[in-house]
């Protein structure tokens, strides 16, 4: 999560992070201009001098409007008395466009006399890969990328660096000068490699002058679709929240039309995340699901590669770009380290076909869906379960479900699981995929494949009943490890209900257990029951509250006929998400990835977790998941029209 003194602009996979005064400050390691998994510039820092020397600034306000971040500042007063004149107002804006970033600094004279000032912007190159940025990750050792600065003319400087993949990447800074003789904007290259954009301004009374320049980033010009949600389809109480969620998702959409997982760390395609967002939006804007399915099909695994866990038919986990991935140093090129995205792909494909999202989707992606189903059939064990081992690689993941942190899974007493893991939610995804694909296979004449889907689904259902039920809790287990059940009460099980697993009687019992106070908080269901010894409300996955997790729980409750539970979870989660837009940081995106699991000791329980991405696509998408699940606002049979 960005610290409170930072603010973000985000569009088409590009990001600008500024500090509290609206600068891209090299002193703040979060700050930078990012694209294609590189921080190309780590400093765009403005200094203003007038007749009295360097002007000191106080912030009046700031806002992020998706693709632009704007900061307004005022100079200190000219005298010691209350109401004395503040001579200057300064507006700093970074706006992301098709080719890069446009930077505009507007200086306004608030006095009744003409005043002069000097504007000087120092630009520091970066070119490091995002995996090397210390504030974002457990940073990898920084690689050496010598940068060359070339002054092309009075108003243009180009930075060039050779990446570790031996490919040159360039960034150009060009002032928006006119060609008149008195144009005073210029760019100089200093001995330390920084570039300085400067201008001398004469500003009349109550007048604004500006310094503007463009930063051209590597890669093609970006054109990005948008999320199209009709306000009339949404209950009036939640239209404002849904509109803000749409704007956050717009900002996160990549040029491929697939939502990035979240900012600032995960502005890249993630299979599981984007598929869940596709589900959340299916009743509101099915084009997101279609674009996601088509993109993931184009990246589907074809070979068996142990380093990246690629397998034929498997759907990717994460796809990064940049020189580390191109040089084969990073696993994320793409990385297939998940156990669930392939089943989610099949399930969303089948449900999107049933919803008739387009005339061509079924035929275009049937072959890809078949390959994914065959992966499920080949990977399932004798009980019908999909299991995984921790990925034994320096950059691999310990856990391959959505709770993928190293301490994500635990027995109630804190013991770590051992051996191969079968997660409850993964079995639900698999069951939903098999049941939904079976009739499509018959429709296409693949009777043998259809029979195999039906047989595995039956076996999986019976095995789940026999091995996951925990009588002492009146609930299903979190998972199985190599030797025993992990009987922890958690939210994973709710995804299994959404997938169709569990008898009605046992699901009713489990729903009652999950609505008890040690799980249900004012902001939603905790990922791990509070009465377990291993509970930690400040952990990432062992007691925190995740909106997307709750949205699938609400959808599952609704589909299984437990409307009271769906309504309760939806209302509390929507309140928490609405609160995230306004409480601590107005004019930020909101929609954090997760909240803490604190409840009774914190008013409303809406504390955003310090490790949270904000915005996160599946948190913003969860608004639409809750609206679909909520009995009072669920759309009718004509929702796709």
Kindly report the backbone phi and psi dihedral angles of residue 225, in degrees, each rounded to the nearest multiple of 5, phi listed first: -70, 180
Give the length of the chain: 641
30 is in which domain, residue-wise?
Answer: 7-216
- For Cα atoms 252, 257, 259, give the angle at the middle one, nearest 5 degrees: 35
| 16 falls within a domain | yes
Sheet bearing 422-423, strands edge to edge: 422-423, 479-480, 485-486
Three-state secondary structure string covering 171-211: EEEEECCCCCCCCCCEEEECCCCCEEEEEEEEECCCCEEEE
Residue indicated by tokens 């199985």: 480
DSSP 75-86: EPBSSSSTT--B
pLDDT (mean) for 32-44: 96
| 639 falls within a domain | no
- For residues 577 and 623, the answer to whether their CB atoms sit within 8 Å is yes
| 53 falls within a domain | yes
pLDDT of 602 reads 66
- Shared domain for 527 and 584, answered yes or no, is yes
Gap between the Cα atoms of 583 and 565, Å rounded: 27
- Shared domain for 534 and 434, answered yes or no, is yes
Q: In the predicted model, is pLDDT for residue 112 greater than 70?
A: yes
SS3 state of residue 335: strand
DSSP 389-427: ----STT--S--SS--STTS---TTSPPP-SSBEEHHHH
- The residue among 182, 216, 250 that closes a domain is 216
Q: In the predicted model, is pLDDT for residue 585 greater than 60?
A: no
- Shared domain for 173 and 212, answered yes or no, is yes
- Shared domain for 210 and 318, answered yes or no, is no
- For residues 274 and 237, the answer to whether their CB atoms sit within 8 Å is no
pLDDT (mean) for 584-605: 75
pLDDT of 101 reads 97
pLDDT (mean) for 435-459: 98
pLDDT of 349 reads 98
From the CB of residue 500, how many other CB atoms can be counted at a distance below 10 Å? 20
- Shared domain for 463 and 584, answered yes or no, is yes
CATH of the domain at 339: 1.50.10.10
The per-residue pLDDT for range 201-216, each reduced to its tens digit, is: 999 999 999 999 999 9
- For residues 263 and 8, the answer to whether their CB atoms sit within 8 Å is yes
Local confidence band at 50 (pLDDT 50, 70, 90 cut-offs): very high
Gap between the Cα atoms of 304 and 99, Å rounded: 37
- Shared domain for 74 and 207, answered yes or no, is yes
| 641 falls within a domain | no
Helix (H) or strand (E) holding 8: strand 7-11
CA distances from 201 to 78, 187, 391 (A): 20, 15, 59
| 222 falls within a domain | no
- Shared domain for 520 and 557, answered yes or no, is yes
Reading the block at residue 367, the tokens are 């072959």
- Shared domain for 195 and 282, answered yes or no, is no
- Shared domain for 153 and 260, answered yes or no, is no
Expressed in percent and rounded to 5, the helix, strand and coil fractions of the chain are 30, 25, 45
CATH of the domain at 157: 2.70.98.40
Quote the pTM value: 0.94
Q: In the predicted model, is pLDDT for residue 596 greater than 60?
A: yes
- Find the range with the poorest average confidence among 2-6, 406-410, 500-504: 2-6
- For residues 68 and 95, the answer to whether their CB atoms sit within 8 Å is yes
| 638 falls within a domain | no
Gap between the Cα atoms of 487 and 382, Å rounded: 22
| 640 falls within a domain | no
pLDDT of 582 reads 67
Reading the block at residue 19, the tokens are 């500090």
- Shared domain for 334 and 203, answered yes or no, is no
- The residue among 185, 216, 247 that closes a domain is 216
- The residue among 216, 248, 268 that closes a domain is 216
The overall average pLDDT reported for the chain is 92
Burial of 49 (0-12, 13-18, 19+ CB in 10 A): middle
Local confidence band at 138 (pLDDT 50, 70, 90 cut-offs): confident
| 637 falls within a domain | no
pLDDT (mean) for 479-490: 96
The total number of structural domains that make up the chain: 2
Q: In the predicted model, is pLDDT for residue 600 greater than 90?
A: no
Gap between the Cα atoms of 577 and 594, Å rounded: 10
Cβ within 8 Å of residue 215, ≥6 positions away: 33, 41, 44, 100, 101, 102, 103, 171, 172, 173
Closest CA relative to residue 75, chosen from 86, 60, 64: 86
From the CB of residue 471, how many other CB atoms can be counted at a distance below 10 Å? 9
Gap between the Cα atoms of 157 and 121, Å rounded: 13
- Shared domain for 404 and 456, answered yes or no, is yes
SS3 state of residue 43: strand
pLDDT (mean) for 417-429: 97
- Shared domain for 394 and 477, answered yes or no, is yes
């Amino acid at each position: 999560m960005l610290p409170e003194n930072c603010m973000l602009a985000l569009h088409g996979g590009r990001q600008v992070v500024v500090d509290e005064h609206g600068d891209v400050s090299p002193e703040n390691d979060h700050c930078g201009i990012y694209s294609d998994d590189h921080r190309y510039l780590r400093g765009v820092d403005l200094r203003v001098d007038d007749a009295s020397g360097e002007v000191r600034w106080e912030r009046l306000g700031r806002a992020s409007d998706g693709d632009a971040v704007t900061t307004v500042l005022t100079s200190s007063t000219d005298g010691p008395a209350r109401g004395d004149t503040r001579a200057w107002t300064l507006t700093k804006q970074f706006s992301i466009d098709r080719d890069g970033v446009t930077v505009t600094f507007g200086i306004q004279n608030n006095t009744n006399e003409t005043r002069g000032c000097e504007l000087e912007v120092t630009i520091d190159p970066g070119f490091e890969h995002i995996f090397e940025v210390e504030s974002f990750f457990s940073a990898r050792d920084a690689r050496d990328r010598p940068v060359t600065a070339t002054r092309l003319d009075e108003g243009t400087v180009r930075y060039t660096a050779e990446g570790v993949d031996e490919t040159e990447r360039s960034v150009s800074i060009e002032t928006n000068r006119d060609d008149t003789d008195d144009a005073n904007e210029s760019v100089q290259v200093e001995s330390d490699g920084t570039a300085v954009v400067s201008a001398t301004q004469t500003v009349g009374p109550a007048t604004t002058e500006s310094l503007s320049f463009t930063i051209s980033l590597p890669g093609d010009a970006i054109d990005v679709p948008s999320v199209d949600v009709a306000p009339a389809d949404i209950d009036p109480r939640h239209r404002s929240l849904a509109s803000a969620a749409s704007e956050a998702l717009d900002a996160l959409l990549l040029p491929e039309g697939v939502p990035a997982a979240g900012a600032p760390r995960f502005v890249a395609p993630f299979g599981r995340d984007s598929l869940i967002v596709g589900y959340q939006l299916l009743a509101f804007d099915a084009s997101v699901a279609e674009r996601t399915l088509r993109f993931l099909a184009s990246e589907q695994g074809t070979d068996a590669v142990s380093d990246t866990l690629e397998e034929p038919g498997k759907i990717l986990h994460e796809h990064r770009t940049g020189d580390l991935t191109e040089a084969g140093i990073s696993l994320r090129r793409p990385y297939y380290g998940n156990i669930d995205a392939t089943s989610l792909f099949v399930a969303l494909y089948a449900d999107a076909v049933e919803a008739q999202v387009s005339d061509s989707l079924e035929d275009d992606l049937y072959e890809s869906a078949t390959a994914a189903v065959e992966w499920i059939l080949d990977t399932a064990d004798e009980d019908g379960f999909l299991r995984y081992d921790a990925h034994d690689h320096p950059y691999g993941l310990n856990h391959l479900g959505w709770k993928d942190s190293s301490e994500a899974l635990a027995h109630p007493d804190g013991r770590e699981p051992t051996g191969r893991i079968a997660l409850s939610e993964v079995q639900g995804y698999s069951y939903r995929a098999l049941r939904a694909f079976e009739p499509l296979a018959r429709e296409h004449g693949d009777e043998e494949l259809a029979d195999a889907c039906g047989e595995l689904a039956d076996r999986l259902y019976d095995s789940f009943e026999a091995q996951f039920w925990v009588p002492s809790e009146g609930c299903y287990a979190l998972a199985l490890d190599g030797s025993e059940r992990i009987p922890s009460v958690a939210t994973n099980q709710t995804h299994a209900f959404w997938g169709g697993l569990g008898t009605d009687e046992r699901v009713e019992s489990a729903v009652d257990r999950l609505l008890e106070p040690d799980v249900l908080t004012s902001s939603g269901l905790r990922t791990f029951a509070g009465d377990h010894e291993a509970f930690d409300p400040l952990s990432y996955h062992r007691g925190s509250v995740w909106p997307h997790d709750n949205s699938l729980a609400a959808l599952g409750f609704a589909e299984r006929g437990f409307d009271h539970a769906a309504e309760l979870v939806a209302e509390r989660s929507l309140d928490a998400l609405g609160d995230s837009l306004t409480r601590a940081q107005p004019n930020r995106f909101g929609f954090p990835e997760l909240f803490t699991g604190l409840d009774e000791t914190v008013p409303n329980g809406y504390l955003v977790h310090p490790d949270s991405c904000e915005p996160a696509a599946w948190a913003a998408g969860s608004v639409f998941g809750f609206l679909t699940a909520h009995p009072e606002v669920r759309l009718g049979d004509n929702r796709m029209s």
